[in-house]
Chain A
Amino acid sequence: MCIGFPGKIISIDNDNYAIIDISGTRREVCLDIIDEEASIGDYVITHAGYAIHKIDTITAQDKLKCLQEIIDNEIY
């Protein structure tokens, strides 16, 4: 039930609701309880109609790069 989806903010209206794109599906979410201000183009995690977290895209990419390096160098 705590399922959350990552999506990209497409637009934000004056009532603090955003349209986000989750893998091609558009949904409206409220930005009232997100942990950090988010703007158009940012990725957020959404849950039950609310954005709950702004994804730090650089950290996320670094982590994948790091996993890939371990695999490329066969550090098992």
Chain B
Amino acid sequence: MKFIDEYRDPEIVVGLLKQITSASVRIARPVTIMEICGSHTYAIGRFGIRKLLPDNIHLISGPGCPVCVTSARDVDLALYLASLPNVIFATFGDMLRVPGTGGNSLQKKRAEGCDVRVVSSADECIGVALSHPQKEIVMMGVGFETTAPTIAAVINSCRKKDIRNFSVFSVHKIVPPAISALLADPLLNIDGFLCPGHVSTMIGAAAYQMIPDARRAAVITGFEPVDILEGVLMLLQQIENKNMSVAIQYSRGVRPEGNTRAMTLLQSVFETADAQWRGLGTIPESGLALRDEFAAYDTLKKFSLPDIHTGDIPGCGCGDILRGIKLPHDCPLFRKVCTPANPVGPCMVSSEGTCSTYYKYD
């Protein structure tokens, strides 16, 4: 298995752990490292990495699961759109079971007879739109900079092919403004960040400059055990030597300048806008809205939406967990009431959610 098995080599893992242990002894104080990407949270849980690390090295999870950070209002709007009679509502599978106000979900809507379809690529919407000319196809655009260019590509294709019965409900978010919000949070004291691998494939390294500017360490890291341990080691080296920078561990997946072709496409279709994050509140310029030239593909402009009264999920602590100030075990519902089979909040629904990975692996 090229580019997978080699990065799970036990000998290299053991070697890296020895280096991490030596560095942690030299640093001789507690070090807190946040992983921002949900795929990191999942991999760290799955490979048991938290338990392998020395006692003074703490890994905490951040707001890196796009499904988890989708605001309650956006979930409720999705549920409203999915229930419109003429709509085929397309979504990535992760969104299906996320509960809205009152416990409804897209999965429940589908069971009630709404036409909700799970796609693995937004590209599939083109075929659906062509074969259902009488219907309106609404794609829920959820995800960070990794995913948003794929949605931009589909919008572009629809415009070229003059497909008019397709629009995107964009709840896309971008990562750097969320990191800035975390750096400004007085309740958080993070020494370094494992920066997301595939977001960085797109945005490159310079986008994280505010991390070393705030005298914190930053390493763009891949998703296999060797990647994550080397990422941790590189963070510890920056912290020990007090020379903070944005380093790239995941060099097979990330060029320093990112994917300029995809980012140019993204910026031609979307512009930044204020966005609401579950747990972090409204962060300026952290969302992606369709530009005016693409209004015909903007669900928010195509449909008139009602005032929706949104409520938080009672008892769910996802907000604090997404900010890294609480752990799943701090939530009284964790394991007792809230389980992957019967999730109360989004952090338990998504396989990349912090509560779900702690439930399965910790």
Contact = CB atoms under 8 A, between A and B. Distances in A.
A44 to B, nearest CB: 10
B112 interface: no
Nearest to B202: A52
A1 B143 contact: yes
A7 to B, nearest CB: 9
Contacts of B123: 30, 49-50
A45 B11 contact: no
A30 to B, nearest CB: 6
A2 B3 contact: no
A31 to B, nearest CB: 11
Contacts of B46: none
Contact of B149 (A33, A45, A67): A33
Interface stretch (B15-23, B212-220, B275-283): B15-23
Contacts of B254: 53
Interface in B324-343: none
Contact of B121 (A23, A49, A64, A70): A49
B319 interface: no
Contact of A48 (B12, B19, B120, B253): B120
Given A2-B196, A48-B120, A49-B124, A67 B12 contact: yes
Interface in B1-39: 1-4, 6-7, 11-12, 14-16, 18-19, 22, 37-39
B348 interface: no
Given A50-B153, A55-B253, A59-B252, A71 B12 contact: yes
Interface in A34-71: 34-35, 43, 45, 47-50, 52-53, 55-56, 59-60, 63-64, 67-68, 70-71
A56 B67 contact: no
B199 A2 contact: yes
B252 A60 contact: yes
A52 B201 contact: yes
A56 B201 CA distance: 13
Nearest to A62: B251
A56 B251 CA distance: 9
Contacts of B201: 4, 35, 45, 52-53
A63 B251 contact: yes
Given A45-B198, A49-B121, 4 more contacts: A1-B143, A2-B197, A60-B252, A64-B12
Interface of B: 1-4, 6-7, 11-12, 14-16, 18-19, 22, 37-39, 64-67, 92, 94, 120-124, 142-144, 146-147, 149-150, 153, 196-199, 201-202, 223, 226, 230, 251-255, 258-262, 265, 350, 352
13 contacts: A1-B39, A2-B66, A2-B199, A4-B146, A34-B259, A47-B198, A48-B120, A59-B252, A60-B251, A64-B7, A71-B11, A76-B19, A76-B22
